Amino acid sequence: MHHNSPLNPQCPIGRSLERVGEWWTIHILREAFLGATRFDQFQKNLGIAPNMLTRRLNALVADGLLEKRPYSTRPLRHEYVLTAAGLDFRPVLWTIMAWGNKHFSPEGLAIQLVDSATGTPAEPQLIDRHSGRPLTWPAFRTVAGPAADARTKSRYPVWPATTPQPTSPTAGSADAADAA
Amino acid sequence: MHHNSPLNPQCPIGRSLERVGEWWTIHILREAFLGATRFDQFQKNLGIAPNMLTRRLNALVADGLLEKRPYSTRPLRHEYVLTAAGLDFRPVLWTIMAWGNKHFSPEGLAIQLVDSATGTPAEPQLIDRHSGRPLTWPAFRTVAGPAADARTKSRYPVWPATTPQPTSPTAGSADAADAA
């Protein structure tokens, strides 16, 4: 799963992808969120080859996203349970789901997020927890943080920003592509 | 890029992963958000083999996430620009970044989101746009939507929810793993 990369080893996106940037891995995590804990549950729901599933589950355990623990001693059987870091992946899954629902579901929504109490459909939006403002570019942008090395600083504005950036929203044009 | 899958073809996460569920593809999109538009820019920043880059760029164009357009006619040269659907991937990238920063950056943050005007670090949070409430489980959950087929309905509660779900938050335990 860990890809030997010429890319920036400091990049938090890269570090996340090292752990989940693989098609099966994200599906395994989704199954875990749907309640699967046992090998045969994952296998049945995903139709994945056992050796592949074993490899992916072990990698998720090694990366601290699943915890492997015995649920039976005779015979010895293990289950796989989401850790705190694994549970924190839920917003990523839900954001991916919202993007897929918006752009790749021309026939309508097959799976959607709702308020559990009322069934009202929810619409995910990313905000800044501190200010409550929508987390959109260019009002917000990525910069080099305190732990940035020279390579990272060469590609991102240095933190804290020395020059205020434009805050008027623009989108849908090539001009929108000059900051992550 | 399009994986032949035994998985649920209706799943919006699966449909998204078909398009971006590959390590290089997400890095290419990130470079596009950082301003890369030309083949040699992507190649230099990513250190990716030209044939691999060509294949990934073509797939992103075919999937409607990048638009290929000429910027020079003699010689004919093309650039790759994020479409509206591609630009909508930014919240996914930022959510992945936040997850990586939280769990896989023990030495501190090398890249982070800030308020463009003030440099104040931002903390991404997912909310429901309609109610303004934090989008967390179990207050919110995934259910089968109006376009769900029998297979999807067999795995998700049918929309609208017929039985109210518990709304008290729990996390970090196996009990938290019974709904996506």
Q: Which residues from B are below 8 Å from A89, CB to CB?
A: 99
The per-residue pLDDT for A6 is: 58
Q: Residue A127 has what pLDDT?
A: 97
**CB–CB of A122 and B128 under 8 A?**
yes
Check if the beta carbon of residue B118 is closer than 8 Å to that of residue B111.
no
Residue A18 has pLDDT above 50, yes or no: yes
Other beta carbons within 10 angstroms of residue A34's beta carbon come to 16
CA B58 to chain A, closest CA, distance in angstroms equals 18
> Does A139 lie at the interface with B, CB-CB under 8 angstroms?
yes
- pLDDT at residue B173, rounded to an integer: 40
Q: Enumerate residue ranges in chain B where pLDDT < 70.
A: 1-6, 159-180
Write down the pTM of the prediction.
0.83
Give the count of beta carbons closer than 10 Å to the beta carbon of residue B168: 6
pLDDT of residue B171: 40
- Cβ-Cβ contacts under 8 Å between A and B: the total is 370
d(CA B30, CA B43): 13
pLDDT number for residue A155: 87
Average confidence (pLDDT) over A88-99:
94
**How far is the alpha carbon of B156 from chain A, nearest alpha carbon, in Å?**
8
Q: What is the mean pLDDT of chain A?
A: 85
Give dist(CA A66, CA A82) in Å, integer.
5
Q: Which two tokens stand for residue B135?
A: 């989008």
Q: Does B167 touch chain A (CB under 8 A)?
A: yes
Q: Given the DSSP bridges, would you call strands B111-115 and A140-144 parallel, antiparallel or unpaired? A: antiparallel
Is the pLDDT at A159 greater than 90, yes or no? no
pLDDT of residue B125: 95
Whether chain B has a CB inside 8 Å of the CB on A84: the answer is yes
| pLDDT attached to residue A101 | 94
With a cut of 50, say whether residue A168 has pLDDT above it.
Answer: no
Check A47 against B7: CB less than 8 A apart. Answer: yes
What is the topology classification, in CATH, of domain B12-87? Answer: Arc Repressor Mutant, subunit A (1.10.10)
- How far is Cα A92 from Cα B97, in angstroms, rounded to an integer? 10
Mean pLDDT for A110-116 is: 94
Q: Where are the domains of chain A?
A: 12-87, 125-165
Lowest mean pLDDT among A9-13, A116-120, B59-63: A9-13
- The residue of chain A with its CA nearest to that of B110 is A148
| Cβ-defined contact of B140 to A123 (cutoff 8 Å) | no
ipTM of the complex: 0.83
Which of A8-12, A27-31, B28-32, B90-94 is predicted with the least confidence, judged by mean pLDDT?
A8-12
A11-20, A82-91, B43-52, B78-87: range with lowest mean pLDDT: A11-20
pLDDT of residue A11: 85
Cα within 13 Å of Cα(B63), Cβ side: 25
Nearest to B118 by CA among A161, A157, A134, A169: A161
* pLDDT at residue number B2: 42
Q: What is the pLDDT of residue A177?
A: 38
Tokens of A75: 């015979």
Q: SS3 letters for chain A? A: CCCCCCCCCCCHHHHHHHHHCEHHHHHHHHHHHCCCCEHHHHHHHHCCCHHHHHHHHHHHHHCCCEEEEEEEECCEEEEEEECHHHHCCHHHHHHHHHHHHHHCCCCCCCEEEEECCCCCECCEEEEECCCCCECCCCCEEEEECCCCCHHHHHHCCECCCCCCCCCCCCCCCHHHHCCC
A14 interfacial to chain B (CB closer than 8 Å): yes
Residue A150 reports pLDDT greater than 80: yes
What angle is formed at CA B113 by the lines to CA B124 and CA A12, rounded to 5 degrees? 90
Measured in angstroms, the CA of B15 and the nearest CA of chain A are apart by 6
Q: What pLDDT is stored for residue A160 in this prediction?
A: 55
Check whether A116 has a pLDDT greater than 60.
yes
- What would the pLDDT profile of B165-177 be if each residue is shown by its tens digit? 444 444 434 343 3
Identify the pLDDT of residue B158.
Answer: 84
Interchain proximity A123–B100, CB inside 8 Å: no
Return d(Cα A82, Cα A28) in angstroms, integer: 11
* Distance of residue B72 Cα from the nearest chain A Cα, in angstroms: 16
The verdict on whether omega for the bond into residue B146 sits within 30 degrees of 0, i.e. cis, is: no
For strands A140-144 and B124-128, give the pairing.
Answer: unpaired
CA distance to A36, A64, A134, B71, B73, per residue, from A41 (Å): 6, 20, 39, 52, 56
Distances (CA, A) of B29 to A114, A162, B173: 29, 26, 35
pLDDT at A71 over 80: yes
Query: Distance (Å, rounded) from C-alpha B32 to C-alpha B81?
Result: 7
| Range scoring the smallest mean pLDDT among A30-34, A166-170, B3-7, B150-154 | A166-170
